[in-house]
Structure 1
Amino acid sequence: MSPCNRGFEEAHTHETTLAELGYKQEFHREFTPLEAAVLAFSCIGVVPSIVSVLFYAIPNGGPFAMVWGWAIACPFIVCIGLAMAELASAGPTSGGLYYWTYSLASPRCRNFLSWIVGSSLNWACTIQITAAIGMASSDQTYVTTNQQLYGIYAALVLSNAVLVSFGTKVLARLQRLYTLMNVCLCFIIIIALPIATPPDYRNSANFVLAEFTNLSGWPSGFAFILSLMAPLYTIGGFDASVHMSEEASNAATAIPWAIVSSIVISAFLGLGVNVSLAFCMGTDVGGVLSSPVGQPMAQILYNSLGQRKALALWCLIISTEYVLSRYMVASNCLLVGSRQTFAFARDGALPFARYLYRINRYTKTPVNTVWLDATCGLAIGLLSFVSTEAINAVFTIAVTASYVAYITPITTRFAFNNNFNPARFIWGNYFPVAAIAVMWMVFMIIVFFFPASPQTTTQQMNYTVVVLGGVMFLAISWYYCPVYGGVHWFTGPISNFTPGHQR
Structure 2
Amino acid sequence: MDEAKLFSGPKRSSDNNAKYMNEHSLDTEPAAANGLLEALGYEPELTRNRSTLQVAFMSFVLASIPYGLATTFFYPLVGGGPVNIIWGWLIVSLIILCVAVSLGEITSVYPTAGGVYYQAFMLSPQYCQRIVAWICGWSYVVGNIMITLAVNFGSTQFIIACVNVFEVEPGVGIFEATTYQTFLIFLGITLLCNAVSSLGNKWLPWLDTFAIFWTLAGLLAIVVCVLVLAKGGRNSGAYVFGRFEPQSGWPVGWSFCVGLLQAAYATSSTGMVISMCEEVQNPSLQVPRAIVGTIILNTLAGLLFLIPLVFVLHDSSDLIALVSGQPVPTIIKNAVGNSTGAFLLLMPLAVLALLCGIGCTTAVSRSVWAFARDGGIPFSKHWKVVNQSLGLPFNAMMLGMVIEIALGLIYFGSTTAFNAFSGVGVITLTVSYACPIAVSFLGGRKHIRNGQFNLGKVGVFCNVVALAWSLLAVPLFCMPSYLPVTAETVNYAPVVFVAFILIATFWYWVWGREKYVGPPTADEAVIDLRLSAA
Instruction: Report the TM-score when normalising by structure 2.
Output: 0.87
1:219 alignment partner, one of 234, 251, 264: 251
Residue 362 of structure 2 aligns to a residue whose secondary structure is helix
Counterpart of 2:127 in 1: which secondary structure?
coil
Q: Tell me if 1:450 matches 2:483.
A: no
SS at match of 1:365: coil
Q: Which residue matches 1:73?
A: 92
For 2:308, the equivalent position in structure 1 comes to 276
Which among 401, 417, 426 is matched to residue 454 of structure 2? 426
What is the CA–CA distance in structure 2 between the aligned matches of 1:273 and 1:75, rounded to whole Å?
A: 17
Counterpart amino acid of residue 63 in structure 1: P
Displacement after TM superposition at 1:304 (Å): 1.6
1:346 matched residue in structure 2 = 373
Q: 1:44 aligns with which of 63, 79, 83?
A: 63
Aligned equivalent of 2:329:
298
> Please, which of 249, 252, 260 is the counterpart of residue 292 of structure 2?
260
| Structure 1 residues 474 and 88: CA distance shift in structure 2, 3 A | same
CA distance in 1, matches of 2:367, 2:223: 36
Write the distance in 1 (CA, Å) between the matches of 2:197 and 2:26: 26
Separation in 2, partners of 1:411, 1:329: 29
CA contact (8 A) 1:39 1:240 kept: no
Q: How far, CA to CA, are the matches of 2:442 and 2:209 in structure 1? A: 40
How far residue 20 of structure 1 moved from its aligned partner, in angstroms, is 2.2
* Corresponding residue SS for 1:90: coil
State the one-letter code of the partner of 1:432: F
Q: Report what 2:213 is aligned to.
A: 180
Contact 1:201–1:303 at 8 Å: present in 2 too?
no
Q: CA deviation at 1:419?
A: 4.9
Deviation of 1:293 after TM superposition, in Å, equals 7.9
Partner of 1:3: none
Answer yes or no: is the 8 Å Cα contact 1:339–1:366 preserved in 2: yes
Structure 2 counterpart SS, 1:449: coil
Cα deviation for residue 8 of structure 1 reads 6.5
Q: For the Cα contact (< 8 Å) 1:235–1:267, is it kept in 2?
A: no
Which deviates more, 131-140 or 113-122? Answer: 131-140
Q: Distance in 1 between matches of 2:108 and 2:27?
A: 22
Match of 2:316 in 1: 285
Q: Distance in 2 between matches of 1:144 and 1:292?
A: 11
Q: Is the 8 A contact 2:430 2:473 kept in 1?
A: no
Matches within 5 A, 1:121-136: 121-136=140-155
Distance in 2 of aligned mates of 1:386 and 1:57? 26
1:337 and 2:356 correspond: no
Which piece of structure 1 moves more, 16-25 or 465-474? Answer: 465-474
Query: What CA distance in whole angstroms lies between the structure 1 residues aligned with 2:472 and 2:56?
Result: 28
CA contact (8 A) 1:291 1:299 kept: no
C-alpha contact (below 8 Å) 2:108/2:284 kept by paired residues = yes
The residue matched to 1:214 in structure 2 has which SS?
Answer: coil
Instruction: Letter of the 1:448 partner, please give it.
Output: F
Q: How far does residue 19 in structure 1 lie from its aligned partner after superposition?
A: 1.8
Structure 1 CA distance for aligned equivalents of residues 253 and 354 of structure 2: 37
Equivalent residues of 2:30, 2:280 under 8 A apart: no
1:502 aligns to 2:533 (yes or no): no
TM-superposed CA distance for 1:165, in Å, is 2.4
Following TM superposition, by how much is the alpha carbon of 1:251 offset from its aligned partner in structure 2, in angstroms?
A: 0.9
State yes or no: 1:231 paired with 2:258: no
Extract unaligned runs of 5+ from structure 1: 1-5
Summarize the Cα distance change of 1:147–1:110 in structure 2 as closer, same or farther, 3 Å threshold. same
Using a 3 Å threshold, how does the CA distance of structure 1 residues 192 and 491 change in structure 2: closer, same or farther? same
Q: Confirm or deny: 8 A CA contact 2:147 2:421 kept in the other structure.
A: no
* CA apart distance, 1:287: 3.0
Unaligned runs of 5+ in 2: 1-24, 165-174
Equivalent residue pairs, number: 490
What's the CA shift string for 1:315-335, capped at 9, x where partnerless?
Answer: 3423x332x322221121111
**Runs of 4 or more consecutive aligned structure 1 residues displaced over 6 Å after TM superposition:** none
Task: Single out whichever of 110-119 and 456-465 deviates more from structure 2.
Answer: 456-465
Distance 1:381 1:97, change over 3 A: same
Which range moves more in the overlay, 88-97 or 157-166? Answer: 157-166
- Give the Cα–Cα distance (whole angstroms) in 1 for the partners of residues 527 and 133 of structure 2: 23
Q: Could you list the per-position Cα deviations for residues 149-196 of structure 1 after superposition, in whole angstroms to 9, with x for gaps in the alignment? A: 222222332333233223521111211101111122222233432222
Find the partner of 2:435 among 408, 416, 433. Answer: 408
Of the three residues 28, 32, 35, the one matched with 1:16 is 35
The superposition leaves residues 65-115 of structure 1 with CA deviations (integer Å, 9 ceiling, x where unpaired) of 211211222111111111111111111110000000000001111100101
Q: CA deviation at 1:288?
A: 3.4
2:344 aligned to which of 295, 315, 326: 315
**Post-superposition shift, 1:446?**
1.2
**Percent identity, aligned pairs only?**
26
Q: Is the 8 A contact 1:122 1:337 kept in 2?
A: yes
CA distance in 1, matches of 2:176, 2:330: 17
Report the Cα distance in structure 2 between the residues aligned to 1:292 and 1:243, rounded to whole angstroms: 37
Q: CA RMSD in A?
A: 2.3
Decide whether the 8 Å contact of 1:47 with 1:185 is kept in 2: no
Measure, in 1, the Cα distance between the counterparts of 2:235 and 2:95.
28
Contact kept, 8 Å, 1:40 with 1:258, in 2: the verdict is yes
Q: How does 1:110-121 map to 2 (within 5 A)?
A: 110-121=129-140
- Determine the C-alpha separation between the residues in 1 that align with 2:321 and 2:204: 39
Deviation at 1:289, TM superposition (A): 3.0
Q: Shift of the alpha carbon at 1:291?
A: 5.4
Name 1:325's counterpart in structure 2.
Answer: 352
Deviates more, 1:28-37 or 1:419-428: 419-428
Greater shift after overlay, 132-141 or 179-188? 132-141
| More moved, 398-407 vs 460-469 | 460-469
